[in-house]
Amino acid sequence: MRADRHDESRIRARRLRVAYEAARLIARHGLQDFHQAKMKAAAQLGILDDASLPRNSEVQAQLRDYQRLFQGEEQPRQLRVLRQAALEAMHFFERFEPRLVGSVLDGTADAHSPVSLQVFNDDADAVARFVLEAGRPARLQERKLRVGKGLSASFPAWEFSVDGLAVEVVVLPTTLLRHAPLSAVDGKPMQRASLAAVTRLLADNADG
């Protein structure tokens, strides 16, 4: 029993070390993919067993702590700039019921982070026509999202910039407006914010 407790304690310590190093890589070197950050951190630390790999939610918790300790002024300022850019992009896509998702919404975004939006229409070509007719330089990509337990699907995604900041807009069918895709961080339905909610978020932070 004592040996088992010692092993568990050692694994917890390793998970914490990997989570912290992954968070540092994200904060300092612009890595955006939690899995990539965890694998790179584990390799750098010489930790190769799967049991010592932290969950994405553990990395996110360490990232919040790291930003608070080492980027206490810089990161909140950059976050506000990104949220302002998100608001501008959401006004542009207002007819498609845009929702803000990802690190710009949850508060862990920094200068390396894109603004991530979801827009909704059962005719993805309608969004394509809107983007092209507006004459905004944009690039069409694909993004894979988890839409249920063990289920993934690919969706069109437009990439462009607002004042030099990267914006990604994923086009989803209207059924996913009611049933959010699952988060890569905790596996739960994604947190999302409407244009009105983002407006309030900026106003509340300005008041604070």
100 and 33 inside one domain: no
42 and 84 inside one domain: no
93 and 110 inside one domain: yes
pLDDT of residue 160: 92
21 and 114 inside one domain: no
50 and 90 inside one domain: no
pLDDT of residue 4: 62
Q: How many domains does the chain have?
A: 2
H/E segment holding residue 180: none
Of 32, 48, 70, which one is at a domain's C-terminal end?
70
pLDDT of residue 2: 60
What is the residue range of 20's domain?
2-70
SS3 166: strand
108 and 57 inside one domain: no
86 and 185 inside one domain: yes
Residues 6+ apart with CB under 8 A from 120: 96, 97, 99, 171, 172, 173, 174, 176, 177
Residues 6+ apart with CB under 8 A from 195: 87, 90, 91, 94, 98
Q: What is the pLDDT of residues 77-88, one digit of tens each?
A: 999 999 999 999
What share of the chain has pLDDT > 90, as a percent?
82
Q: Residue 161's domain is classified under what CATH number?
A: 3.30.460.10
Per the prediction, the chain carries an average pLDDT of: 93
What DSSP string describes 112-156?
TPPEEEEEE-S-HHHHHHHHHHHT---EEEEEEEEEETTEEEEEE
Q: What is the pLDDT of residues 51-77, one digit of tens each?
A: 889 999 999 999 999 999 999 989 999
Region 157-185: what's the mean pLDDT? 94
87 and 109 inside one domain: yes
38 and 113 inside one domain: no
The tokens describing 56, both together, are: 């994405």
